[in-house]
Amino acid sequence: MAAATVVFVAGMSASAAASCPSQWPDWEQFKARFISVDGRVIDSSTPRAVTVSEGQAYALFFALVADDRRQFGRLLEWTENNLAAGDLTRNLPAWQWGRRDDGQWAVLDANPAADADVWLVYALDQAGRLWQEPYYRSLSAVIARQVFARETAELGGLGLGLLPAPEGFHPAPDLWRLNPSYLPPMLLRALARSQPERPWGRVLDSSEQVLVGAAPGGLAPDWVEYRPGRGFSPDSITRATGSYDAIRVYLWLGLMAEAAPERPGLVRHFAPMLELLRADGWPPETIDALSGRAQGRGPVGFAAALLPFAVAAGDHALAVRLAQQVAQQRDALRERYYDTVLMLFGMGWFEGRYRFAAEGDLVPAWSRAC
């Protein structure tokens, strides 16, 4: 993308009235590089060539943004057949699938991942609405009931919270491990509206407490611990490190609609990340969320993830600089699955290919009059 084009896109990206681009070259590249013919998203950089449920759910979202119904169907079919034992109405998707030590391809970790499950529910619900496919909406509702039953819990003093998975994140009666990047506010708001028979609004309320409480200095950690009566404290495993998980916190907040009620306060709270970015000229790979100490040079996907957040904070000059940096390294990042995912989210939004409405609905460019 030429610099002049980046400046033009930056100017229009703050408004939901962005232009209506048609074909999405970055999505076509992603499909060619990372998605098998039968609909499996493959991270070939890993020794086991793994597929994670998060990757399938993100790809479903991108297929919807691209109005790519055929690919959406393939992704969903592969996910159900291989991660959900052939039945998403009964089973949440397993987190990880890949090559076992004996060379066979199978589920490697059957524990579901709540972030993937929420994105799956959202993509199906929005696909049903936008494509007028009742089956997708009904399937979304069934999966959402499973998510609520298995992946939410009363966290004393905090309210109803979203756990990272059904198993493994409640190691003691008074202790929960939580992941702030699993809580995109716009998705939870949409879920609260589409599933009124479940109190998802309470999950949305607690999510804001988790986001802010985990980051007292405005810098998000990858993981955090919560104890009733004692509040939040650094995770005993990852400490206060913020890196490959936490970068998504800034991304989700930047993607929120301008009219979303939580957006102004959350963007202000997390503004210290932009101060680090302005000072160093590039996103750090890791930060100490308590001290603010930054280390290393983050991958280019981090720059793409921070693009919408810079726009939300009103720093359009910084957004343009980030977009130029991503554009200059676009070809290189296509070899890296996670970087490419962050680029699709950040640059896709920046180019006006999609927006989120105030109540959480997806507004893809193809659904607007151009």
Kindly tell me the sign of the dihedral angle through the C-alpha atoms of 186, 189, 190, 191.
positive
Taking CA atoms, 71 is separated from 39, 41, 59, 163, in Å, by 7, 11, 9, 30
Between CA 67 and CA 31 the distance in angstroms is: 14
- Other C-beta atoms closer than 10 Å to the C-beta of 216 total 12
Catalytic residue among 26, 43, 68, 115: 115
SS3 for 224? strand
Angle between helix 272-280 and helix 316-328 axes, rounded to 10 deg: 60
154: left (phi over 0), alpha (psi -120 to 50) or beta: beta
Is residue 57 within 8 A of residue 123, CB to CB? The reply is yes
**CA 145 to CA 139: how far, in whole Å?**
10
For CA atoms 49, 168, 82, 33, the dihedral sign is negative
Active-site residue flag, 115: yes
In the set 54, 117, 235, 351, the catalytic residue is 54
Residues contacting residue 268 through CB under 8 Å, at least 6 positions apart: none
Asked whether the beta carbons of 309 and 322 are under 8 A apart, the reply is: no
The residues, any chain, with a CB within 8 Å of residue 101's CB and separated by 6 or more, are none
Residues with a known catalytic role: 54, 115
